[in-house]
Homo-oligomer: A and B are copies of this chain.
């Protein structure tokens, strides 16, 4: 006879088969609903509002009921996998990746230190993704996202530029970062966190294509050196969140090599496109970087979180992060990942990328990125067909296409486009966020979803004109 003390202490009121069946039915329904655009983004109804006000439940309740409520909550949340989610830099929730997350969560392996085959799979996935983008990584790790990847790489750069800083503090020698004026905030955040200070982030001028100018970068570094300021790293953005501009990596690599300065490529959004025929040339010089950030939950279509940080020399991460502790002996030094990762405990995020490369193959993933690139160009062409639409940038380098609605007779175009963005969100059949480019309020669609079709792109144009025209009356 099995007594209570021989059973797990937490048990559900439904069988495993029942909860698995219910959860997979929710997933299957969701996937079907992601196949096509939904007519609207539904609101949070009264029943859910009441649930959201509920106090901490002291007693348990129906597991199937809880799952059903979760499904209803998710239905009224912003699911980025929907084909007309164009806001920010979205996620696709690739289906094999979702199953990878399920398996990783079930086995709950911890990649902090060696964890059996999972550690080897992480190594292999790092090798694969490095090869996919063409970066000669000596080491790397999966992270919770681009910000953690950038902080990790720049912590290594800081220790490289200011040796001993991890022990003594950054002290009174100022260290500077150099980046495009439109680099992601995580560069500034890295400077803040790392004790360098945001005032020492040199947000530098861009060329006509909104790319960081190597000459301006060189001049800024030289001026800082002359003033006793230590250059910590140049951050090449590939591409920017605002417009998808890819900084000239080769030119920046020249600047960095001549001066012995660390080159970090923040490719969280765009570096996956280095694998493509039509955009690959934009990333020339990537193989000369010291470190690279990539978010596989962006343009490799996987569910969050699937960040990646790669370095050319393992010892750079090791020098910034390695340590000894009595409670975590170096049993397998090659896989003592806490010596090269900022996080400590880490879930098995590599599995979903490994599964995606296995099941879909690099060619199909590359083709899916290529399709998004083509859709961005399609969107740009569509804008050109209508007098009341104005693209704010030239032909897209990657897949962000900022534009605004400019109907005749509207004086305040900023207010009009802000209202239009809100009207589009209220309509809910597409999801798009406003942005500011050169001070102008605009719509800023980004196409990074393998479910998005050409029709979805055309629908965005049509709906924008329809709602915009109505608002302008």
Contacts and interface: CB of A to CB of B under 8 A. Distances in A.
Interface stretch (A58-66, A279-287, A464-472): A58-66
B343 A147 contact: yes
A241 B328 CA distance: 9
Contact of A450 (B8, B147, B155): B8
Nearest to A440: B326
A106 B33 CA distance: 12
A50 to B, nearest CB: 12
Contacts of A151: 193
A26 interface: yes
B303 A145 contact: no
A121 B169 contact: no
A199 interface: yes
A405 interface: no
Nearest to A453: B6
Nearest to A116: B77
A462 interface: no
A179 to B, nearest CB: 13
Contact of A103 (B74, B91, B169): B74
A310 interface: no
How big is chain A's contact interface, by range?
Answer: 35 or more
A290 interface: no
A317 interface: no
Given A165-B195, A169-B174, A363-B58, A303 B105 contact: yes
A323 interface: yes
Interface string A66-109: 11011101101111110100001011111111111111111111
A132 interface: yes
A16 B145 CA distance: 28
Contacts of A121: 52, 73
A206 interface: no
A23 B123 CA distance: 23
A278 interface: no
